[in-house]
Amino acid sequence: MKLNRLLTRLTLSAGLASLSSNAMEIIAHRGASFDAPENTLAAMNLAWKQKADAVELDIHLTKDGRVIVIHDFDTKRVGAVTNKVVE
């Protein structure tokens, strides 16, 4: 639960900070997901190399308390086996 509150605060803080600037910012959606597998370190690193100002990623918490980065609530679209993320 503490992790969820922390992530919410970080998200809100980043959003409020961006409101104070008039400059356009490039935010890489799930990293550079057009050129690398989404939500991976490769996609995040490539986004920085491509001069993105920020990256957006999807964070979930599994039932055993592990933090994972995946957009969907199951692995059907991105994996060979379909599992629910919370499991």
Taking alpha carbons only, the member of 10, 12, 8, 50 closest to residue 29 is 50
Of how many residues is the chain composed? 87
Q: What pairs with residue 61 in β-bridges?
A: 67
> Is 60 assigned a catalytic role?
no
Active site annotation includes 71: yes
Given 45, 71, 72, 74, the catalytic residue:
71
Q: Which residues form the catalytic set?
A: 29, 71
